[in-house]
Structure 1
Amino acid sequence: MIQIRINRTESGTIQSFTMSGHAKFAKHGEDIVCAGASAVSVGTINAVHALTGVTPEFENKPGFLRCVIPENLPESTEEKVQLLLEGMAVSLRAIEEEYGKHIKITFKKQEVE
């Protein structure tokens, strides 16, 4: 199963996300759940960089993806980045609704320290 964790700040903005595991919906190279989740998440990272100029910190290797959005972005840039990330969340939830046995999304809100 693909496990996705989307971390939100106290104010509700997406600060980071991780994706790990394998969907095991079909054999390697034919797994539409894995391909869809990968395309949505990596496409979002690429879109954030291309459309806002922000370069997220990320690590991508087989079965694992981690992305962290830089802090203290200008407000107008932050709004654009958040719109792209919320779009990603909507797309991943649509995949989860259809293929819930193979992908699970968890949202975690940062606690006040």
Structure 2
Amino acid sequence: MILATFHHDEQGRITAFQLEGHARNWRPWPDMICAGVSAIGQTTIGSIQELAGVEPDYSLEDGNIRCVVEYSDDDEQSKVIAALMASTRIGCLQLEDSYGKKFVTVNDVFHGDTET
């Protein structure tokens, strides 16, 4: 199963995501689901770099994509970052809805919450 965890700040903006695991054991979908989640995460990282002009703190490893962003005082830049991070969550929710929590599960952690 792929666990997509999204961390939200006190304003509700997503400040970080981690996409970890693999969707295995049911052909032909697992490879397609993994590729979809990977494409969503990597596209977000590249889009933040290109469209917002920001270098996020990220890592790309087999079965684990992590991205952390900091919001600046530049309102336009922050709006772009927030929209891109929210789009990542939406994409993962759509995969969860299409293929089920057996393959993709979205977890939200809000400022002040402790992750379980």
> Would you call these one fold, judging by a TM-score over 0.5?
yes
Alignment match, 1:48 = 48
Deviation at 1:19, TM superposition (A): 1.0
- How much has 1:99 moved relative to structure 2? 1.2
TM-score by length of 2: 0.87
Q: TM-score, normalised by structure 1?
A: 0.90
Q: Select between 91-100 and 69-78 the one with higher mean Cα deviation.
A: 69-78
Partner residue, 2:112: 111
Aligned-residue Cα RMSD (Å) equals: 1.7
SS at match of 1:70: coil
Amino acid at match of 1:12: G
Q: Distance in 2 between matches of 1:26 and 1:6?
A: 28
Q: What does residue range 19-98 of structure 1 map to in structure 2 within 5 Å?
A: 19-24=19-24, 25-26=26-27, 31-98=31-98
Distance 2:3 2:98 in 1: 15
Hey, what's the Cα distance between the residues in 2 that align with 1:71 and 1:47?
Answer: 15
Q: Which runs of 5+ in 1 are unaligned?
A: none
Instruction: Count how many residue pairs are aligned between Structure 1 and Structure 2.
Output: 110
- Unaligned runs of 5+ residues in structure 2 are none
Q: Determine the C-alpha separation between the residues in 1 that align with 2:88 and 2:63.
A: 18
